[in-house]
Structure 1
């Protein structure tokens, strides 16, 4: 899924209007599994000027990048974190780990040939789903609109739940970020073909 959708889903599941720390943790947990990709890709694209085809066609699949993805996308590690958070009864830690697990759980069935080793450190196995959220050759034309629709529905629910203008601005920004650039991402990853 696209990162704005992960943020909306994580907020819908774990954010609480009366608990800013829990809400911030839910947002962070929903973002962390994608954060390394943004940092590494952003550095290459905007600082080094690396061609997007190299970033997403070569570097993404490199041993170094995949090692980092194994860590921040591990069901095992985040599951241990959630277990500890539950044992400590820490609402913010439950929101953090829960939102990260939700992110990973939603990504797991939606990556065809660009999935991650979600069960590291037990195994480096990567599930190759027949379905992709971005690859038109693997049903993105169906998955994408469903993702956008669900994100917009959840955005509406969040809008009703949160009354403050800062949260409402964030919700609106994420909804727009999810709905508008889907075609840009498809162009970048698919080369516009």
Structure 2
């Protein structure tokens, strides 16, 4: 899924306006599995001047990049962190880790050749799904509207839970970003 969809779904599932800090924690947790990608892409393209085509066709698939993705996309590591947060009864840390786990659970069935090592460090195995959120050759024309619908549902949930303008504003901006990005990926790929 696109990152804005992950943020909306994580916030809807784990953000509780009545539990201080959980909405922000859920947003950050939903973003956490993608942060290394954003940082490495930004440094490569804007810091090092590497063409985007090289970044996404070569560096993304390199052993070095995949090793980083294995860590921040590990069901094992995030599961341990979530278990610890529940044991400690930390609403904020549970929202953070729960949103990250939801991110992984939604990514797992929607990545084809670009899949990650979700069970690292136990194994380097990669599940290459027949479905993709971005690749039309792998049913993105079906998956993407479903993801967009889920994002709209998450927006409704967030708005129904809070009257806080900043929460509503952030969630609306995320939905608009998802609306734009889901259409962009289908057009590009």
TM range (shorter): over 0.9
TM-score (norm 1): 0.94
Aligned residues: 189
CA distance in 2, matches of 1:172, 1:49: 33
> d(CA) in 2 for partners of 1:88 and 1:96?
13
**TM-score, normalising length from structure 2?**
0.96
Deviation beyond 4 Å, 4+ runs, structure 1 = none
Cα separation, 2, equivalents of 1:38 and 1:81: 22
Cα RMSD (Å): 1.2
For the 8 Å contact 2:2–2:181, the answer to whether it is kept is no
Give deviations 1:98-147, integer Å, cap 9, x for gaps: 11000000000000110000000000000000000000000000000110
Worse-matched range after superposition: 89-98 or 47-56: 47-56
Alpha-carbon shift at residue 51 of structure 1 (Å): 1.6
Q: Does 1:73 align with 2:109?
A: no
Equivalent runs, 1:99-118 vs 2, <5 Å: 99-118=99-118
Provide structure 1 residue ranges, at least 5 long, that are not aligned to the other structure: none
Q: Please tell me whether the aligned partners of residues 140 and 186 of structure 2 are also in contact (alpha carbons under 8 angstroms).
A: no
Runs of 5+ unmatched residues, structure 2? none
Alignment of 1:11-30 (within 5 A): 11-30=11-30
